[in-house]
Amino acid sequence: MMDWLPRPGTLLAIAHTLTILTVLVRVIMKRPATGVALAWILIVALLPAAGITLYLLIGERRIGERRASRIASLTKSFREIGNAAILQRLTDVQWDRHPPTARGLDRLGRSTIGSPTVCGSRFELISDTQQCLSQLASDIDAAQRSVLMEFYIWSAGGAADDVLAAVMRAAQRGVRCRVLIDALGARPWWRTDQPAQLRAAGVELQKALPVGIFRTFVGRTDLRLHRKIAVIDGDVAWTGSMNLVDPRFFKQDSGVGEWVDAMMRIHGAAVAPLAGTMLGDWMVETGDCIDRLVEDSGVRLIEPDGHVDMQVIPSGPGETADGLLQMLLGLINSAQHELIMTTPYFVPDDSLLHAVRGAALRGVDVALVMPENVDSLLTRYASRSYYDELLDAGVQLYLYKDGLLHTKSIMVDGTMSMFGTVNLDMRSLWLNYEVALFVYNAEFATELRALQQSYIDDSDPVQPDEWASRGYLSQFTENTLRLVSPLL
């Protein structure tokens, strides 16, 4: 009498099909990048139960209503900061000193992100981590009004503890110290006694993007604050690839050697948008009034100091769509003679891959420098799946041997550069909160090019013939992980 009921196997097949169709429809309506969409459809088709769970957890750039509301409220405040800069003529850049494409990048940054180029900055490019940590601690010891810091990782040990001590001394003498540290990136540090020491000294310490089971229902918990910014008295700012770690002590059991980083120490007009980026992140996490934060941090007191033109480009879910990616594509596509890139992780989307290959194919000398070993096995193999296409186009690939090269930089034609926290991978472009400096200055490009050459000198070039002869199993592993590279 129950013959009309479908068999269990049939029911499972129907459920499987409906699950795939449900995710397919949702993915189509959300309109992610094609590679991302296909990766999710593949995972759900092969592992329906796990796949649908993963998609609901991390498949979309959900940031939660409260965060979205606070980010939206920043628009007016940042516009006011921008207007103040215009009144001080900080955006009156002499564009005839730069290639025509520089002005186009400025317009692109204004239209997609609302961040204009500011003139009147000077810089120091520092590639010695011990020097960075020592000078940062000295700057904090000289602070009189405010210390603003946000980092992805803080790790106890070595010279990083000197920075901790300097922040505590500053707070104890009455300097307003606000420190924002990512909840997941610095999870081991949050479990030490150092956060309690900072708070006991009077430092305002806040976790960025806290994680937890209940927060999963509000927004994605794998969105990360990957920015590295320090601003002292609204007078000097730091940014670049370095976390608050001493590489002699950090991840020494990971088998990749010491992390190799570089930072920029900046005076002048560019300090304002960097401070504004950090204060915006603080406001989003705490709900504090942005006007009060700006006032007691000295941001409005910043004056031009130097002759360098810089454009600060923040990015992240809810803040920008594809603005940073568009800036990177514009910079790469502007190259006429030489394009040098350094990144620890190269897992590009199709548009970025095509731009790099296109530059090489039109005769630009293109070099991509990456570490030989990275701390993520999956990313390592996924990245290698792109080598064949890059080598075939004439891109020179270099694998850095003396540690985990962590500097993120692009230099174009000795005139324009990108320097900051963004990796050339889809996580940085779509899921992380990043900050990048687009620097329109030949002096900086020359210094950056010299630093990049020092990395190349300590690297082994990837030889096309040798690379093509690697084993079938390696090729299969690389290409398989490339299918899920949009999700790494």
User: Which active-site residues does the annotation give?
Assistant: 226, 228, 233, 406, 408, 413
SS3 149: strand
Side-chain half-sphere of 436: how many Cα atoms within 13 Å? 27
Side-chain half-sphere of 198: how many Cα atoms within 13 Å? 26
Which pair of tokens denotes residue 209? 């993007």
Contact between 16 and 48 under an 8 Å Cβ cutoff? The reply is yes
What percent helix, strand, coil does the chain show, rounded to 5? Answer: 50, 20, 30
Side-chain half-sphere of 82: how many Cα atoms within 13 Å? 15
CA pair distance 398, 454, nearest whole angstrom:
12
**Ramachandran region, residue 209 (left: φ > 0; alpha: ψ -120 to 50; beta: rest):** left
Q: What one-character-per-residue DSSP string does 156-203 give? A: -STTHHHHHHHHHHHHHTT-EEEEEEETTTTHHHHTSSHHHHHHHTT-
Which pair of tokens denotes residue 70? 């606070």
Which pair of tokens denotes residue 478? 């690389």
Which ranges of 201-237 would DSSP assign to H, the alpha helix?
A: 213-216
Contact between 263 and 132 under an 8 Å Cβ cutoff? The reply is yes
Contact between 369 and 395 under an 8 Å Cβ cutoff? The reply is no
SS3 262: coil
Instruction: State the burial class of residue 363 (Cβ atoms within 10 Å of its Cβ: 0-12, 13-18, 19+).
Output: exposed
Contact between 225 and 281 under an 8 Å Cβ cutoff? The reply is yes
**How crowded is residue 184: how many other Cβ atoms within 10 Å of its Cβ?**
18
